[in-house]
Structure 1
Amino acid sequence: MRKNERKETLNMGTPWTSEQLRAIESPARKMLVCAAAGSGKTAVLTEKIIRYVCDKDNPGNVSRILVVTFTRASAADLRSKIRSALEEKLAEEPSEHLAREVLAVSGARISTIHSFCYDLIRAEGAALGVSGNVRLMDENEEKQLMQGVMEDTIRERYTVSPTFGNLVESLVGYRNDSLLGGSLMELYDKLVNLPKGIEFVRECAEKEALAAKNDFFLSESGAAVARDIISTLLLFKKRYDRTLELIPPEHHYYSPVTADLNGLNALINALSSSYSDSRNAYFDAKTFIKLPSNGMKGYDAEKTAFKTLRARYKNYLSSLDALFAQTPEEAAYCLARHSEMLFELYETEKAFESRLNAAKRKADVCSFADLEQLSVKLLYNGDGTFSHVARSVSQCFDMVFIDEYQDVNETQRMIFDAVSCDSRCFRVGDIKQNIYAFRGSDPAIIDRLRQEYETDGLAETENVFMSSNFRSSKTVLDYVNEVFEPLFRGGKFRYEDSDKLHCGKKDKDFSKEAKVTLLMCLNGSKKEGTYAVPEEVAVADEIERIVGKVTLENGKTIKYGNIALLFRNYSTHAAPFIKELERRGIPVSVKGKRSLFAQSHVSLVLNILQTADNPMKDIPLCAVLFSPVFRMTADMLAIAKKEGRGTLWQCLKAASEKHGGIYTVAYDKISQWRELARTESCDGFLRKLYTSDGIRPLLIAQAEKDFEKRNVDDDLNLIYDMARSFSSSGNKDLSAFVADLEEASKKNLKVPGNSGSENSVTVMSSHGSKGLEFPVCFVCKANAGKSRGDSTNRLQFTAEGGVGIPLTDPRGFVLINTPTREALRLSAISAETGEEERILYVALTRAMERLYVTAGSVKPDAEYEAECELLYGGLNLPCGDTNILHVTLRAAKNLPRITNCITVMPTAEDPALTTAPAAEPEKKPPVDEKKAQAMAKTIVSRLAFEYPEPYLSRIPAKISVSDLSPSVLNEAMPSQSEGEAELATIGKADLTDFADAPAFIRSGSAVSATEAGTATHQFLQFCDIGNARLNGVEAEADRLTDLGFISERQRGCLRIDELVTFINSPFASRIDKANSAKREFRFNCFMPAHKLTDSEKLSDLLKGRQLAVQGVIDGFFLEGDKVYLFDYKTDRVPKGKSKEEAKEIFAERYRWQLSCYAEALKRIFSRKISGALIYSTALGEAFEVNADMLDD
């Protein structure tokens, strides 16, 4: 290689691309490099630094550059590459300058953001009253300190604030106030990532008060959610316009499409005006014309595509129900009350922060968030201008390099702006790889900077796009572009042709590249007696097919070590795949996280610490005696228990004195530990335990495999590091450290795991795969539901929109949603959807040569629907799909030349069946009838006490609707000797029945009719009707199973035919088309007690008394101004009865229950229902029931 050739080449001799050279050579003072996955950004950054140092006219110094990364590993890697590049340059062109610079690399400012802030605060913190010796807390120490301070704060707020109780009820409820501290600390952690900190909550409260006086959509959060809704509706509008282009005016679908579009356009226009107009237009838009079943022949693909579009549109409108649930007057009232609650929240967080800062000052410590907040205070004046500290720091550097800029938060953005105010700044990032929202990163920051540099017209600012990918094959990249074109284009953030990935590999025969493969396991059919092949089985089959047989680009056959399995939700989905691979003898390397305190070696160390602290605790002592340390048996402990009374420790002492041997060894060793615990710090105790007592080598030796030994070693080191950190905080007491560990064990602390040899299949999360690459990549569980994030929390928060919490109802029982909270929840869902898309992008771009997307339980017509989707061309998807199979399959259908769709057909054998013999039932022990009778008499006599007015003591304070009947309260008026009746009942009972195992743990039991009915009812309660119509009942059942609404056993006993009938019934359409519908409606309300009995005498006695009634209504819906109540029933039709006779039986059986529901709705909503219906799955239809038994 010629001496000057290296400047124009990457590592391995690859020439620099024009975009890379532009990033390296541009004279712009402020540059944003949008570096796509695999584009060589590290090589470019290194080259830019080398050219700065080696400039012949004006050579630079390594000491005058600042490089900020987000991990220590990245900083170390970049430092190593810069040193290697300078050493190479020094070998080519020896000079004193380069020799000095090579030595200076070790002291160069290449660090994480927090390391830089820590150095800044120790140097300049005196101006803020911060000691130069301030110590940085680790996460465990910080959490312990915060928990203690929060407990004190909560106690104080209960005392000083009369409205604090309402805040507690809003955030966690009175029954769960133990969760209050966690909720408040979680919000505080988010607030300290903002430049304004907790003052942000005060500003939100003030804005809410202002919004209450104006129209909600004129407020900040209201306007923001209106813009988001309009943006989504415009995408739907484009698809509706396209539909009208696809079908002729005389087509029978043309009129319904036009009607939908008119309502959609009206809603878009109204959203730009007021909340009231928008609400009216919203309810109008939800009125859909039924699609005609007969009409023009043909256009089957167009009809399927439109049905899918319409179902998506309906689902989206339904997601806005809560936003438009309140009248403008109700919304204003809620906003005013919400403002009051936010002020209370602000005062609580303020009191907490004040106490926390005082505790930190006393201990001379700070947190990672403090580093950022204090840095901003040092770098900015009160008016928002750069301080003299910022100018001074910036002038120390000629160039500032910031890596992974897409992952910064607003506070970090301010820090970077300040330290580069007088120097050149080189920011590198890729918004498509922003996947750390849970850490507070904000992708809008890099997007705003990109737009600013595009439009400011300044010569000193520049955007550079590095889109050439040197990692993946062209087929993989073409497929990735096709998947994300309809997701990213026209989305919330900028996406243009320059953002697409291009193959950077030159002089390559692309025609020989492997195809991208979609591996789909089709659903089984209960009617046909077939079962879906489990996804993990299909994946393992494919791995066995390609390993050792299929060749990579380098000419070598695929090894296990070339393969990775990626999961969006590792903890939920990876286990069956790992189990299947291990069952086949395929080596597996697990890169997920493990529960630290679930490991046996960690449990043993914790038990030893607990025993040394207090041997009077039997359970930890027993575990230690049974452990490999002493290897006692149950018989040995039984002997020890016979030798003494009291605790196990006292018995062990007695056995030691009498028998000696192992008892003496154990007693003496534990006594030594007790003495050591009194004299040593907790870390000193562990050090001697690990070394002098040989616990560490003993536990490592217990592990069989090398990776298991590494895990044991890492875990023991982590426990020791925790002890050192605990001791350094000033608390060296073993008791306190044990309490800290016990608290950590309750939190289920997760730690990284090492598993498998070098040549093993890697199994890891999509998050964990960022920055890695694999020749063969399986992206699994493509049709799993999206991960549910913060949008399900009571407290909603976004940095753009503010804080939202529900309000307490003055009558109790229920919480009231607020427009602001609902707007924030919708924003959170949108943000979560965007993050899911970016996580998928990261996962797909890990593949170098072969990419598989796999899915289980796929409905048979999925491929046809994907083909129909192509009729909409490149139009963006109007809202996020529930799974990634839709978009990946659509892309595959649009690129048939480079993709291969493999469908695994159902099998006649149930993979879940086992051949293990059934266990023999346990024989019941004989019962002494005389003793049973005597026990029964004793119980009855002790419970026979009567109050002077027994009927009042028998009236419950609260009762469930399921327990109600016209005679349920009549028991308060006994007409016979109840003691004798109860005795007779107990005497007849077979008391041994109480020892029977409940049905849900009896393995191998046949499915009963009751179970099938319960499972079917559970499906009806929670199913998404639109989704079931779109994707089929089987797919919806799988979705509910994945989300935990029904169990695997329930999934297997659903009455699928009856559910299909329901989904396609006029009644389901009626619910779907209703102005508003609520299902699984839980309620608590007071009812007049005298209405709940058919006894005239008792009714007179109970007049004026209220009874709290709770229950769950299957559902109700609004048609125009009429409310209809409905209830699902899965009862079988009595034999020999006609349909009409069955209806009469069901109506009489459930009339009382529906009357109670009707009364509850009347009291909650202050309006009488217009009708009550029962939907019978056995009859396959709904019918009305007279539900007026509680009417006055």
Structure 2
Amino acid sequence: MAVTFTPDQQATIEARNSSILVSAAAGSGKTAVLVERIIQMVSDGDHPVDIDRLLVVTFTNAAAAQMRERITQALSARVDENPGNAHLLKQLTLIHNAQITTIDSFCLYIIRNHFDEIDLDPDFRVADDGEIRLLMQDVLSQMLEEYFTKGEEEFLACVEYFAPTGKEKRLEEQILGLYEFAMSYPWPGEWLEEHGRDYAVSPETMEQCRWVELLEEYVHTMLGEAADSLEQALTISREPDGPYMYLDTLEEDKCTLEQLRAAKSLQELYEGFAGLSFGRISSKKDTGVSPEKRERAKEIRGIVKDLLGGLAKKYFYASPRSQAERMAACAPYVSCLLSLTNDFRIRLDEKKREKNLLDFHDMEHMALRILTEKREDGVYPTAAAREMRDYYAEIMIDEYQDSNLVQEYLLKSISGEEDGRFNRFMVGDVKQSIYKFRLARPELFMEKFERYGKDGGKERRIDLKQNFRSRHQVTDSVNACFSVLMGRDLGGVEYDKDAALYPGAVFPEPEGEEEDVYRTEVLLTLAEEDGLEDREREALAVAGKIRRIVGRLPVADKDTGGLRPAGYGDIVILLRTTAGWDEVFKKVLEKSGIPVYITSKTGYFAATEVQTILNFLKVLGNPLQDIPLFGVLKSDAAGFTDEDIACMKAEMGGAGRRLYTCLTAYARQGSREELCGKAGRFHDMLDRFRRYVAYMPIHQLMEQFLQETGYLYTISALPGGEQRRANVEMLLAKAENFEKTSYFGLFHFIRYMEQVEKYNIDYGEANIQDENADTVRIMSIHKSKGLEFPVCFVSGLSKKFNMQDTSKPVIMDMDYGIALDFMDVESRVKGNTLKKSVLSGKLRRDSLGEELRVLYVAMTRPQEKLILTGSCKDGEKVDRILEEGAMKRNTADNRLRFLTRSEAASYLDWLLPAWAVCGQEVEMLTAADLLQDHMEEEQGKESLKQRLQRFEKEALEGKQEEGEEVRLLRERMESVYPHENLKNLYTKTTVSELKKAGMEEAAEEAWHLFEEKEIVPYLPRFIREEEKVSGTARGSAYHKALEVFPFECLIQETESGPVSRERVEELLNQMAAEGRLSREFRAAVSPDKMAGFLSSGLALRMARAAVGNKLHKEQPFVLGLPASTLNPEFPQEETLLIQGIIDVYLEEEDGLVVADYKTDAVTRAQELVNRYRVQLDYYARALEQLTGRRVKEKIIYSFALAEEVVLQ
């Protein structure tokens, strides 16, 4: 069916011969319009354009791929309509080479085609973030070391200023921060040099600084706010029952304000604030005066006094002369810091040239160097730029509000505007500019938004205001809120009729619904003494609401065009930040039976399996690191318990000794034989792997670790095993990628991963989620941009804004330079400079504007229904705000005052007064309400609140009879746990315990599995030393010997006949001499018995498997089984984890063979079968589950009987 475009969309598609700015509101169909414009340009009958002569720049690779796909589909449709059109057929060929790309890919394209113009080796490589961070750290460390060696006074003074003794890292942080910031400027060296003089001011020149103009403008704005507030107090006081006795004082305050507002310079403002004083307000009593109005007038005056006092304290605590002198004292340190930063920039560029590397900054700046030439009188296009100008018919820029200054210069240089050919097409929405942290410049969009005319011309603006995404209930809520919150002063754009959303989508409507099921809802939970955190309480409210939505709320079905019940997959929960929130919500929702998935770009490095492998690598690099070693020992890869580690520490040196030293000592002479063996095996493995480090690539080192420990199998069998396995595989891939960088070796890989983690280059956990799964999704608001969902919860509204950047030691601004604190180096006394106060305030206001735009993005995601949730501690305060805001409802100007909006600390601080003004209902939820919701879900009865109200009424009327509700509650309170027999059912047990239980004939004796283990009394070492070698120790010795035995060395001997005792003894002694077998174990192993085993058919099969690398020894595993497998009385849904270590298994053509060595003193083979059948069955079951292959044979080798026992 042909798409029908609105008049504004059609105008956007058809406009030609002008530079066009399209202000496209959320859900306005900008992508469809852009695609149609391209299609019409390439298929124009009179002036067709080849598609490869259009440059289309998008924000992400995914957006570029989607755009290319849509254009290809549209072209194919046109070809189907006009099969003989040679021009259209040509476009289908050219589309593959068309520049539909991201800005960095386009820059790369420019560099590859013009590398010779900047003397670049064409064999360059684009480095990843981790490698660049390593390189930056190395260059910076070397540079600072050189400066310290020279010891120049200016540098040492700068170090003392920014990084006093013991805090030298702070200087590195300042340099790196300034470098990153400067690189968003087209000519970073010039920016650093120019603003290195920022603090070189005098009392005479400071008044002319641009930032002083900014201060004066802001102060006058706030004085205007104060005057408006004072006028409000005067109006109240003049009312018939108003506090008339306040009028004189308020009039005096008004005169004071007028004098301040008349100030024309910084000096005059300082003098006005220095002499600021307020008279005492009258205490006269009059019963005819309304107490409410008296308090309100007094409250408003208090707000005015606080406002003016705050301005005086922040900006006018010292005279302009004193401020200038204080800044001048900082000037040498500012100059040195920016000079160091520029030197670092130059050195880093040289090092990247030397290694033939490029990063993202290089791509943009090198492309800019190729296309522009900077002269004293301006920026001029190069021959390469003019060539591209002539080639490209139009330059189309998507998400223009997120462009930076480098990109602006770059794309402008290849447009024809300077030659009178206006051919830029820019699409975006400044209300959705939310990438300030990437140094986006929404001001570029706003400058054109205000300058371009709406009536045609060479520079034209077209507004797309109709929203084709959401029901009118959603757009109505968005308009109502942002019309009172967003303005040019906060948010960057006036939210007027041009910025508002107009519903354009047609939705099917449900029949017979009495209430508006799609209305926007607000849920606020009240803080109470219920033992819950605010976020847990809020998550409970969300869970309750989800349960009422799923299966009940009708949503549009894209396939049928009708309605269907909402499912979990229709719901998304949006959070400003997921850290510390997503896991809480996930836990609460899952406990409520709601399937949930976290869509996150973080969490990878926190994953246990990733931490374990990285810790192991750190231990290989330096085994004396206690924390990484402890992490490895405690992991499933090593299997040590807290008790094991405490025992080693206590027995081998106490708390002051390194853990590795204790481990080593315990492996040689520990008192507990089993732990001694375990420590020895781990120590041997560690030593072996440390030798591997010298020649084995990192990814192979990790693969070897996974293979020898069976760790990958173990984590795969745990809950979430698929995710864990994917995380490990991602780490292996990252290791392989690292090996392609200019760095190599374990030391640098560990540094590489540390830098990646430090700078939040978090990969996010490997994504294994099916996007079409019927699961509630939790994601950040930033990740949701560009997406849409039937039902959206915007949660965490009461979370405080992150304003940490405003208090950093150095503040940076692209237009106003840098600002920092003043410090007396001798006394170490610190204080703000005036410029620091000004730029800190500006940064806070800019950040608030960004937060407002983030909120806009969140509230414009839903298609059908929007639910906003938060928490509050003071219900009465909420009621008061709602009541006060209601008085402004339906007034001509209901915009919240700038003072109110600029003092917000959370989204809730904005939304509460906005909801009051627009009449939005707010539902306050108490703990009883949350309990009521739970009772509704559990029992399907009438609400708890209604029942409690009826109970109260009956109690007042004297009706004390026990009703049905009381009976049900009594049953619940007096109920007995139905699974008393599970009280000792542990979630994890071992195969050995199962084997013991399997030996019991009576079914009821299987309970022994789950009872607590008997504590064996500790025996002093001297007593134990008197004992002969125990059966357990002998078994451990044989297992260890066979684990390290080189079967592949005996293949010829086993093939030809029995292995001699002498040869076995030689090999055993050799293993002991090499440290692979301890002296105690060597003494416990009989060469005769070993020779007997090595002459067996099983040993021959093992030797053949070893040659083909198909022999697996001491394979640990964890197997998850339903508890009912062990006893039918256990519930099916309970899961039991079984862990164990398989002595050996081998791969043969037609299946697997699992074997176990036994040293039990038995006289008949059947005894071993009875004892160990259960154990071997579980081994086989685990292998089949983990490998996907059939276990064809189960064998026990008895050293006592010197024979193989095959289990049927």
TM-score, structure 1 normalization: 0.68
Q: 2:364 aligns with which of 364, 372, 387?
A: 372
Q: Does 1:266 align with 2:259?
A: yes
**In structure 1, C-alpha distance between the alignment counterparts of 2:540 and 2:144, rounded to whole Å:** 52
Q: Secondary structure at the match of 1:111?
A: strand
1:468-547 equivalence runs, <5 A: 468-491=466-489, 493-495=492-494, 496-506=496-506, 512=516, 514-522=518-526, 534-547=537-550
Selected match of 1:737 from 740, 749, 767 = 749
SS of 2:451's equivalent in the other structure is: helix
Could you tell me how far apart the structure 1 residues matched to 2:146 and 2:333 are?
Answer: 17
- Given that 2:198 and 2:817 are in contact with CA atoms closer than 8 Å, whether structure 1 keeps it comes out as no
Of 40-49 and 236-245, more deviation after overlay is shown by 236-245
Q: Residue 391 of structure 2 is aligned with which of 390, 393, 396?
A: 396
Deviations 1:196-231 (A, max 9, x none): 31432332243542x424253421111122223333
Counterpart residue identity of residue 888, structure 1? L
Determine the C-alpha separation between the residues in 2 that align with 1:355 and 1:335.
Answer: 30
Is the CA contact 1:643–1:654 (under 8 Å) kept in the aligned structure 2? no
1:428 alignment counterpart = 427
1:583 paired with 2:578, answer: no
Aligned match for 1:797, one of 805, 809, 812: 812
1:43 to 32, 41, 46: 32
Kept in 2: contact 1:595–1:749 (CA 8 A): no
Matches within 5 A, 1:861-1010: 861-872=877-888, 873-879=893-899, 880=902, 881-896=904-919, 899-905=920-926
1:152-167 equivalences in 2 (<5 Å)? 152-158=142-148, 159-167=150-158
1:588·1:755 contact (CA, 8 Å) conserved in 2? no
Match of residue 681, structure 1, among 678, 692, 697: 697
CA–CA distance in structure 1, aligned partners of residues 886 and 652 of structure 2: 81
Three-state SS of the structure 2 residue aligned to 1:498 is coil
Q: Give the structure 1 partner of residue 374 of structure 2.
A: 382
The one-character-per-residue Cα deviations of 1:709-742 (angstroms, maximum 9, x if unpaired) are: 24541x3344334333432233322233234335
The 2-side partners of 1:292 and 1:782 are apart by 41
Please say if residues 239 and 875 of structure 1, whose CA atoms lie closer than 8 Å, have aligned partners that are also in contact.
Answer: no
**Structure 2: distance between partners of 1:850 and 1:441:** 31
SS of 2:374's partner is: coil
Structure 1 residue 431 displacement after superposition: 0.7
Residue of 47, 52, 56 corresponding to 1:63: 52
Contact kept, 8 Å, 2:115 with 2:121, in 1: the verdict is yes
Quick one: distance in 2 between partners of 1:562 and 1:547? 9
Matches within 5 A, 1:359-758: 359-383=351-375, 384-421=379-416, 424-454=423-453, 459-491=457-489, 493-495=492-494, 496-506=496-506, 512=516, 514-522=518-526, 534-554=537-557, 555-613=563-621, 624=632, 627-629=635-637, 631=639, 648=663, 673-686=689-702, 697-698=712-713, 701-705=716-720, 709-710=722-723, 712-713=725-726, 715-742=727-754, 744=756, 750-753=762-765, 754=767, 758=773
8 Å CA contact 2:790, 2:863 repeated in 1? yes
Quick one: structure 1 residues 626 and 345, their matched pair in 2 at CA, closer, same or farther if it must change by over 3 Å?
Answer: closer
Q: Report how far residue 398 of structure 1 moved.
A: 1.2
State the one-letter code of the partner of 1:77.
Q
2:176 maps to 185
Corresponding residue of 2:823 = 808
Amino acid at match of 1:431: V
Q: Match for 2:498: what amino acid?
A: S
Alignment of 1:770 with 2:785, yes or no, is yes
> Cα offset for 1:499?
0.8
Aligned-residue RMSD, C-alpha = 3.8
Cα deviation digits, residues 1108-1153 of structure 1 (max 9, x gap): xxxxxxxxxxxxxxxxxxxxxxxxxxxxxxxxxxxxxxxxxxxxxx
Partner of 2:656: none
Counterpart CA distance in 2 for 1:309 and 1:518 is 33
Residues 466, 393 of structure 1: alpha-carbon distance in 2 compared, 3 angstrom cutoff: same
What whole-Å deviation, never above 9, does each CA across 1:1149-1176 have from its counterpart, x for those lacking one? xxxxxxxxxxxxxxxxxxxxxxxxxxxx
Q: Which amino acid aligns with 2:182?
A: L
Alignment of 1:313-392 (within 5 A): 314-315=306-307, 318=310, 321-383=313-375, 384-392=379-387
For the structure 1 residues 213 and 629, does the alpha-carbon distance in structure 2 shift closer, same or farther, using more than 3 Å as the test?
closer
Alpha-carbon spacing, 1:305–1:860, altered in 2? closer, same or farther (3 Å): farther
Query: 1:212 aligns to what SS in structure 2?
Result: coil
The Cα of 1:374 is off from its aligned counterpart by: 1.8
Map 1:1111-1126; keep pairs closer than 5 Å: none
Counterpart secondary structure, 1:827: helix
> SS state of the match for residue 163, structure 1?
helix
**Residue matched to 2:1018:** none
How far apart are residue 543 of structure 1 and its match?
2.3
CA gap of 1:513–1:667, structure 2 versus 1, over 3 A, is closer
Deviates more, 1:245-254 or 1:418-427: 245-254
- Decide whether aligned partners of structure 1 residues 350 and 663 sit closer, same or farther in structure 2, where only a CA change above 3 A counts: closer
Q: Does the 8 Å contact 2:229/2:304 carry over to 1?
A: no
Question: What residue is the counterpart of 1:121 in the other structure?
Answer: 111
Unaligned runs of 5+ residues in structure 2 are 558-562, 654-659, 933-972, 974-1208
Question: Is the Cα contact below 8 Å between 2:274 and 2:312 reproduced in 1?
Answer: no
**Is the 2:789–2:863 contact (alpha carbons within 8 Å) kept by the matching residues of 1?**
yes
Please tell me whether the aligned partners of residues 591 and 755 of structure 1 are also in contact (alpha carbons under 8 angstroms): no
2:208 aligns to what?
218
TM-score by length of 2: 0.68
User: For the pair shown, which has the larger CA radius of gyration, 1 or 2?
Assistant: 2
Corresponding position of 1:827: 842
Q: How big is the shift at 1:329? A: 2.0
CA contact (8 A) 2:134 2:755 kept: no
Paired residues of 1:213 and 1:332 also in contact (CA < 8 A)? yes
Are 1:532 and 1:907, in contact at CA under 8 Å, matched by a contact in 2? no
8 A Cα contact 1:218 1:274, kept in partner = no
* 1:780 aligns to 2:787 (yes or no): no
Answer yes or no: is the 8 Å Cα contact 1:775–1:849 preserved in 2. yes
Deviation at 1:827, TM superposition (A): 0.8
Q: Does the aligned pair in 2 maintain the 1:259–1:289 contact within 8 Å?
A: no
Post-superposition offset of 1:781: 2.8
Deviation at 1:375, TM superposition (A): 1.9
| d(CA) in 2 for partners of 1:71, 1:193 | 18
Change in 2 beyond 3 A, CA 1:398/1:652:
farther
Change (3 A) 1:525 1:868: farther
Q: 1:888 to 1:309 in 2, by over 3 A?
A: farther
Separation in structure 1 between the aligned mates of residue 930 and residue 100 of structure 2, nearest angstrom: 60
**Runs of 5+ unmatched residues, structure 1:** 10-14, 916-1192
Distance 1:292 1:904, change over 3 A: farther
Moved more, 678-687 or 304-313: 304-313
TM-superposed CA distance for 1:269, in Å, is 2.7
Instruction: State the shift of 1:37 in Å.
Output: 1.0
SS of aligned partner of 1:176 = coil
Q: What is aligned with 1:1167?
A: none
Q: Distance in 2 between matches of 1:662 and 1:339?
A: 63
Q: Is the 8 A contact 1:28 1:461 kept in 2?
A: no
Q: 2:193 matched to which residue of 1? A: 202
| Secondary structure of the corresponding residue to residue 119 of structure 1 | helix
8 Å contact kept, 1:171–1:806: no
Residues 969-995 of structure 1, C-alpha deviation per residue, up to 9 Å, x if partnerless? xxxxxxxxxxxxxxxxxxxxxxxxxxx
State whether residues 68 and 112 of structure 1, in contact with CA within 8 Å, keep that contact through their aligned partners in structure 2: yes
Partners of 2:578 and 2:279 in 1: how far apart? 41
- CA separation in 2, counterparts of 1:335 and 1:889? 41
The alignment status of 1:21 with 2:21, answered yes or no, reads: no
Match of 1:147?
137
